[in-house]
Amino acid sequence: MQDGLYVALSAQVALDKRLTTIADNVANMSTVGFRATEVKFKDIVSGAGPNSVSFASPGDTYLSPKAGGLRETQNPFDFAIQGDAWFGIETPAGTVMTRDGRFTLTDAGQLVTHEGYPVLDAGGAPIQLDPLNGPPEASRDGTIRQNGRLVGAIGLFAYNPGPNFNRFGNSGVIPAGEPDPIVDRVDVGVAQGFVEESNVNPVLEMTRLIMVQRSFENAMAMTRDTETTFDDAVKTLGSNQ
């Protein structure tokens, strides 16, 4: 009888994790460059044969690989990635990967994010521009020119977050290792004057929320039924002594 309690408890723990990811996704449905979090669970089998019991695993989190839509801003300091790649930025947590390309130029000419973190080139160095030489003009490969003169290049990096990744802020992800710079790939590029919107599907997330709420109710009902059966068994056995 206790197995039923453990099964129901594991289900509630798994549902709580899924509910947390849904809430985070919905909260960031308007966040530029945000990738939705997905959760995958596995069955954990205890025992063998007819006495085996299946429990839900705690679950592993993954980033949705689907790209968000591009929104035109006409701002020369806004950039969106086309293809499977990431921008690199320098933060107190080290190099961070992001799809948020809302950049700006400091008075000293450094290209930084809207939060003030330096944007990196393919070699991992901060990008330095001339603050007095006009707005940058970026090619699809990320190379930057000012008044027709090549002054730098935005780094694009290949990166797979894998399971149980660590976020930095809303749109950033802290890589476990050193990301690989992308060179000479025709399927990856930069669009200047655009930003990538969040890839969260609000209708899908609300549907998942309803399913989680119903599953919670079922798990709680299972817990109540198991506890009632256990109490009845204790009373019966106690009265026979």
- DSSP-derived secondary structure for 132-176: TS---EE-TTSEEEETTEEEEE--EEE----TT-EEETTTEEE-S
Q: What is the pLDDT of residues 153-190, one digit of tens each?
A: 999 999 999 898 999 998 999 998 889 999 888 899 99
Q: What is the pLDDT of residue 178?
A: 87
Q: Which two tokens stand for residue 48?
A: 């063998």
Q: List the alpha helices (DSSP H) in the chain.
A: 2-27, 202-239
First-last CA distance in the chain: 21
Task: Look up residue 138 and give its DSSP letter.
Answer: E
In DSSP terms, 90 is beta-bridged to 95
Q: Hey, what amino acid is at 32?
A: V
- Report d(CA 228, CA 166) in Å as an integer: 42
Please enumerate in sequence order all residues whose Cβ is within 8 A of that of 27, keeping only pairs 6 or more positions apart, or say none. Answer: none
Which residue's entry shows tokens 């000293």? 108
In DSSP terms, 180 is beta-bridged to 158
The mean pLDDT of 199-220, rounded to a whole number, is 84
Q: What is the mean pLDDT of the chain?
A: 85
Please enumerate in sequence order all residues whose Cβ is within 8 A of that of 46, keeping only pairs 6 or more positions apart, or say none. Answer: 52, 53, 54, 55
- Report d(CA 86, CA 35) in Å as an integer: 12
Identify which of 35, 168, 44, 189 has the alpha carbon closest to the alpha carbon of residue 113: 168
Identify which of 166, 144, 148 has the alpha carbon closest to the alpha carbon of residue 63: 166
Q: How far is CA 189 from the centre of its chain?
A: 21
Q: How far is CA 208 from the centre of its chain?
A: 17
The mean-pLDDT minimum among 31-45, 59-73, 186-200 falls in 31-45
Q: What is the pLDDT of residues 122-149, one digit of tens each?
A: 999 999 999 999 889 999 999 999 999 9
Confidence band (pLDDT; 50, 70, 90) for 1?
very low
Q: What is the pLDDT of residue 215?
A: 72
Identify which of 87, 80, 188, 78 has the alpha carbon closest to the alpha carbon of residue 135: 78
